[in-house]
Amino acid sequence: MLDLVLRGGRVCDGSGGSAHDADVGIEAGRIVAIGRTGGAARRTLDVRGLIVAPGFVDVHTHYDAQVTWDRLCTPSCWHGVTSVVIGNCGFALAPCRSSDRERLLRMLEHVEGMPFESLHAGVAWEGESFAEYVRALGARPLGVNVGALLGHSALRAYVMGDGAYTRAARAGEVETMAALVREGMVAGALGFATSRSPAHVGEGGRPVPSRQARRAEVDALVGAMAASGRGVLEITPETFPVSADELAWLQGLARTSRRPVSFSAILDVPDRPGVWEPVYAQLRDGLAAGAAVYPQVSCRPMRFDFDLATGCASLDAMPCWRRWRTAPSDAARLALLADASTRRSSAARSPRSPPRAAGTRSTRSSRSPPPSTCARASRCCS
Ligand SMILES: [Zn+2]
C-alpha cells in the first residue's frame, strides 16, 4: 500500500515535457508512481486544480541571517522553493568575531535592504567560524534544504579588519584567507562567493570588502576552493552586462581551476535591446572550449521597494542621490530637489526601464508597473 497519493494534480515534472494530469504515489519518502494510482493509500490528498512539481532550487538567496530565526525561509517556501543557497555575492555571517557582528549586519542592511533592527533582534549568533555557523544551522530543524557558500566580504573583514573596506590584501592576508577557504570546504561549503559590482555599496557609501580585491586575490581563493576537488565560484561581476574582458577572465578561471563559475546575471534591458546576446555567444563559445561558466537569470522583471529614510544600495552608488539622501535636514533635501542641476544629473543617471530575463519580450505597456519580485534579487543583480 502506498503511503501517500496526490490525486488529480497537474504534473510538471521538470523534464521539459508537457504538463499533464496524473496521480503521484509516494512510498517510503520516494515517488514510486506517476499516472493512475487507483489502489489504496494510507493517505490521499485531493490536489485537483493544483500544480504538482519538484521543489525549486533557488541558487541565489540572502537568507544567511533570516534562516537563523525562520527555518522555512519565507516567502520562498510559499513559492515552491525547497532548497536555497546562501552566502551569495560574498555576503555571509561567518566567519565573524563577536566584536564585528554589528559591522557585518550593517553591510547586509545597506546592500540587501534588510532593516538593522530586525537583523539585530533576530540573528541567533553561534560561534565564530564558518564551520560553527553551518554546524549550528544543521542542528536546527530546517524546513528547507540550505547550502552555504563562503562569503568573500565576510572573510576579508575577518582577516583584514577595517582594511578590508579600503585596500587590496597583502600576500600574508591572502594566504590566511585561502587557509580559511580550505577549512570551509572541509566544513561543507558549496563553494566561494564574491562580488565586484559597483551596486554593492555598504555603510557610508563604502564599497563592500570584496570590491577591493584584485583579480589575483580571487584567483588564489578559487584555487584554494578547487584544491578540495569540488565547489563553485559564484560572482556578481564588476560590469553589467558583463564585459568581454571580465567574462574572459572568468572563463580562464573556470578552465584553470576546473570548477564551474556561476555569475549573476544575464539580463535583458528594455532600453538597450539585445545587450545579452554577445554575452550569451561568448558563454556558448567558452562552454564549447571547456569553460564551465553559467549565467544566473531572473524569471521576472525586477522591481525593488525602498523608502527615503533607509535608502537603497543601488541608488546610493550614484553621487547625486547620496548627496541628497545624506543632506542634514528635510529643508536641505527640498532645496536640493528644487535645484535644476541636481534634478538634471539625477535624471541623467536614472535607468529608464527595469532589467528583465534575457530572451523575454515584455507584454506590459510602458505605462504599467512591472510585476512584483523579490527585492533581494534586484539588489544582487543590478
Ligand atoms: Zn546577491
Classify strands 41-46 and 56-58 as parallel, antiparallel or unpaired.
unpaired
For residue 353, what is its C-alpha cell?
526601464
Amino acid residing at 293: V
Over 50: is that where the pLDDT of 366 sits? no
Rounded distance between C-alpha atoms, residue 109 and residue 316, angstroms = 13
Span from the CA of 381 to the centroid of ligand 1 (angstroms): 7
Say which CATH number the domain at 11 has.
2.30.40.10
Are 32 and 150 in the same domain?
no
Span from the CA of 60 to the centroid of ligand 1 (angstroms): 6
For residue 337, what is its C-alpha cell?
530637489
Span from the CA of 24 to the centroid of ligand 1 (angstroms): 35
Rounded distance between C-alpha atoms, residue 262 and residue 253, angstroms = 12
Supply the pLDDT for residue 315: 72
Q: What is the pLDDT of residues 141-174, one digit of tens each?
A: 999 999 999 999 999 999 999 999 999 999 999 9
Q: Which residues are CB-contacts of 16 (< 8 A; sequence separation ≥ 6)?
A: none
Span from the CA of 165 to the centroid of ligand 1 (angstroms): 18
Span from the CA of 62 to the centroid of ligand 1 (angstroms): 6
Residue 331 domain flag: no
Span from the CA of 336 to the centroid of ligand 1 (angstroms): 32
Are 113 and 211 in the same domain?
yes
Give the pLDDT band of residue 313 (cuts 50, 70, 90). Answer: low
> Is the CB of residue 316 less than 8 Å from the CB of residue 205?
yes
Classify strands 51-52 and 2-11 as parallel, antiparallel or unpaired.
parallel
Are 110 and 190 in the same domain?
yes
Residue after which a domain boundary falls, among 236, 252, 280: 236
Q: How many domains does the chain have?
A: 2
Over 80: is that where the pLDDT of 236 sits? yes
Q: Which residues are CB-contacts of 207 (< 8 A; sequence separation ≥ 6)?
A: 165, 198, 200, 201
Supply the pLDDT for residue 268: 83
Span from the CA of 380 to the centroid of ligand 1 (angstroms): 4
Q: Which domain holds residue 44?
A: 2-52
Residue 365 domain flag: no
Rounded distance between C-alpha atoms, residue 64 and residue 123, angstroms = 9
Q: What value does the mean pLDDT take over residues 188-195?
A: 98
Rounded distance between C-alpha atoms, residue 180 and residue 167, angstroms = 20
Are 106 and 27 in the same domain?
no
Span from the CA of 235 to the centroid of ligand 1 (angstroms): 9
The pTM of the full predicted model, rounded to 2 decimals, is 0.81
Span from the CA of 290 to the centroid of ligand 1 (angstroms): 26
Are 65 and 39 in the same domain?
no
Are 43 and 129 in the same domain?
no
Span from the CA of 298 to the centroid of ligand 1 (angstroms): 12
Q: What value does the mean pLDDT take over residues 320-324?
A: 80
Supply the pLDDT for residue 352: 52
Span from the CA of 97 to the centroid of ligand 1 (angstroms): 23
Say which CATH number the domain at 156 has.
3.20.20.140
Span from the CA of 123 to the centroid of ligand 1 (angstroms): 19
Q: What is the pLDDT of residues 350-365, one digit of tens each?
A: 655 455 565 444 333 3
Question: Could you please report the per-residue DSSP string of 318-364?
Answer: SHHHHHHHT-SSHHHHHHHHH-HHHHHHHHHHS-SS--EETT----S
Span from the CA of 61 to the centroid of ligand 1 (angstroms): 6
Supply the pLDDT for residue 305: 73
% of the chain surpassing 70 pLDDT: 89
Residue 370 domain flag: no
Q: What is the pLDDT of residues 66-85, one digit of tens each?
A: 999 999 999 999 999 999 99
Are 161 and 27 in the same domain?
no
Residue after which a domain boundary falls, among 236, 258, 291: 236
Q: What is the pLDDT of residues 261-290, one digit of tens each?
A: 999 999 888 888 899 999 999 999 999 999
Exposed / middle / buried, residue 338 (Cβ in 10 Å: 0-12, 13-18, 19+): exposed
Span from the CA of 377 to the centroid of ligand 1 (angstroms): 6
For residue 50, what is its C-alpha cell?
493544483
Are 44 and 60 in the same domain?
no
